[in-house]
Amino acid sequence: MRVLVRAMIPTTAGNKTVRDPNFLKTIEDYTKKYNCEAAYFTEVNRNRTFVFVLDLPSPDMIPAIVEPLFQGFDANVEIHPTVNLDVYLWFKNMLIRKDANIALAY
């Protein structure tokens, strides 16, 4: 299942993080380890924020995915299931077909 992982790092911890000379390598290693499709860096509610899009093979992987962010960056972490537009349109078409088949049955 594709998920969006959002890690919001409080300002003090975020400032410490970006000063760390290993910061970019740590992020690169994380994105490679979890095969992130995308990685974005932004600000949310005055916090430095990482947003990763990755495939979650099973729910038991959640601790492995979030713990490095909790422990390494003192982050507040959220995981959100997500789909891209292609999947959404496919699902919408399936619903339309189902409705059409139900209408034809009557």
Q: What are the pLDDT digits (tens) for 5-15?
A: 999 999 999 99
Give this prediction's pTM.
0.80
57: left (phi over 0), alpha (psi -120 to 50) or beta: alpha
Q: What are the pLDDT digits (tens) for 41-79?
A: 999 999 999 999 999 999 999 999 999 999 999 999 999
Range of the domain at 49: 2-105
> What total number of domains does the chain contain?
1
Which CATH number does the domain housing residue 48 bear? 3.30.70.120
E strand or H helix at 101: helix 85-105
